Structure 1
Amino acid sequence: MSIHEIITPRPQLPVYFDIYRTYNQLIPNHWHNHVEVLYIFEGTNHIVLNDKKYTLHQNDLFVVNSGDIHFTRSLGASRVLLLQIPYELFDQCVVNFDMIRFRQYYPHKTLKEDPVYQKMIAHLLNLARLYVQAEKGYQFLFISELYQFLHILCGNYSIMKDPAKESKSAKHLDRLKKIIHYVEQHYQEPITLEQVASLVALNPEYFCRFFKKHMGLTFMKYVNLVRLARIHNDILQTDDSITIIQERHGFTNYKLFNHMFKEAYGCTPSKLRAKHIRHK
């Protein structure tokens, strides 16, 4: 998955929709133009967005607004509903959508008695049922349920952006997105603070403070998390040796790699692969 996700809708559907299982998955800070909806069927997930940390449990809902930089990880085994709605779909249907944001966090514990919220969730779960059953012509019913879900979301859980705050944060976001894009393109190579700081016209010392403040971690730790996410994927999806995978994705210090991998995923690379093979 690229750090700036480019989402392609499924055939015959105007959105990307999936129900997936994951184990200790980590997706470093990334962004996309789509609005992203996550609903937790099973497990626990952490999301870091705009300097705030959220812990999602079973039946919790989370909405990531277009352009927001966010980090996600699952703790152990999770089953998650993922709905990604193209920005263009909102823009066609909602006047001045560029000035609207959605509420982000919807904890089941505090909203389980809210009839409006429960009606919205019922439409979302109907999407899952229709998608899994995939009966002939299901796309018509799917689109109907989708628009009812979005109607409640827009009508009840959207707010107008503050133009002054948006203007102030836009410059920071542009810089961060430029950095993220650069790392995505060059993470397999050695990357220095001086290189990236000059890319966004900052001196290295100020760049370090700027990055840590807005991303919640140091720049070099972020680069290594990007590498680890690619390595994690290759361990599960290929038969290549751990050493080859590690070197392919820019890790030359094996001791540091092993330490960071175990810290991120709770086990060694070889144990992760063995566990994956057992559960196939």
Structure 2
Amino acid sequence: MSDMQSKDISYEVVHYHTELPFKILNVHKKDLYPNKDLSAVSDVLDHWHNELEIVYSYSDDGEYFTDGIAHPLKKGLFIIVNTRSIHKVISNRTTPYDKLPPTLTTVLQISDSFLRNYIPNFDELYFIPVFKPGEERPAEIMKDLAQYADGKPLTKYENMRLLGLVHELLYFICKDDLSLKDTELPEKSRKNADILRKIISYTEENYDGAINEMSVAETFGYSASYFSRFFKSNMGITYKEFLTRMRVNAAKDSLVQTQKSVLEIAMDCGFSDSRGLINMFNKLEGITPLQYRKKYAETV
């Protein structure tokens, strides 16, 4: 989820904890309501990401907003958040804490590049936000996936089982819930989303090199000032912040998956030296790269 304290629309870089092209997480009431105080809830404010987000609700508490439209949460309801759709979650703060289930929702975030492998015209399509399956199987799949939430270590061959469950869930949603994007979204929103997708893809392919806001603006034929305003207004963060987050996330993967030194990882991820990576890691994660490597290694 996004930075819950942010008042701006922010871009979320989803970090996958396994080699699978999706992330599963459960939202628990004990985490959402500190000290059982309904007035102290941390709502998930406006944010967006490249991933398709599938939300399954276990309660009637709160509203899911997608592209400015409110969808009241209901037990057994699916909310589909399209790639690059701005969304947020607001609690209704009326259901007594003791009446809420331990887990409020299960969230599945699926890589857009993975989806494009199976849906050739993916960028022309739009999932209807409120999905009401006519059968029980999709709910059963989400409850099954919930058991593997939050980066839980997988035993031998479980990755194949999880991949099969996600494929089956996507089958149900795609056959019943897809519409043409140009019938659902205004033209300006579609054009901005397409431009941003190209900028993000370019950054993903080149973050390890000597790129910056000015060079990327030039690549796409924009002045530096226009590119800066366009990116910030649509993403909620500057291009420099976005690029730094992407580089730090790449460093996370390398810290866990390799034994490379911090300097080697810094150079591989586009930082000019190890100090740059350490400073940004401390700022964004609150710990050093080596502390992150040690902490994550102890949880897998």
Q: 1:165 to 1:245 in 2, by over 3 A?
A: same
Equivalent of residue 206 in structure 2, options 186, 195, 210 = 186
In the TM superposition, residue 162 of structure 1 has moved relative to its aligned partner by 6.5
Q: Which amino acid aligns with 2:213?
A: L
Report the TM-score, using the length of structure 1 for normalisation.
Answer: 0.56
Among candidates 57, 64, 77, match of residue 81 of structure 2: 64
Q: Which runs of 5+ in 1 are unaligned?
A: 5-9, 11-15, 22-27, 42-48, 53-58, 72-78, 107-113
- The percent of aligned pairs where both chains have the same amino acid is 25
State whether structure 2 residue 184 is matched by structure 1 residue 168: no
Q: Aligned equivalents of 2:293 and 2:279: distance in 1?
A: 17
**Alignment partner, residue 3 of structure 2:** none
| Aligned counterpart for 2:247 among listed residues 223, 227, 252 | 227
What is residue 142 of structure 2 aligned with on the other side? Answer: 124
Alignment of 1:1-280 (within 5 A): 31=50, 35-37=52-54, 63-65=80-82, 67-68=83-84, 81=108, 86=115, 98=124, 100-103=126-129, 121-126=139-144, 146=169, 150=173, 154=177, 163=183, 165-280=185-300
Q: Is the 8 A contact 1:228 1:261 kept in 2?
A: yes
What TM-score comes out, normalization by structure 2 length?
0.53
Contact 1:127 1:142 in 2 (8 A): yes
Q: Are the equivalent residues in 2 in contact too, given 1:124–1:149 (CA < 8 A)?
A: no
Corresponding residue for 2:31? none
CA RMSD of aligned residues (A): 5.2
How far the C-alpha of 1:231 sits from its partner, in A, is 0.4
Distance 1:89 1:244, change over 3 A: closer
Structure 2 Cα separation of the partners of residues 83 and 192 of structure 1: 28
Offset at 1:209?
A: 0.5
Offset of residue 211 of structure 1: 0.4
Q: Which residue in 2 is equivalent to 1:56?
A: none
Shift of 1:187: 1.2
For structure 2, the 5+ residue unaligned runs are 1-12, 15-19, 27-46, 59-65, 70-75, 88-105, 148-153
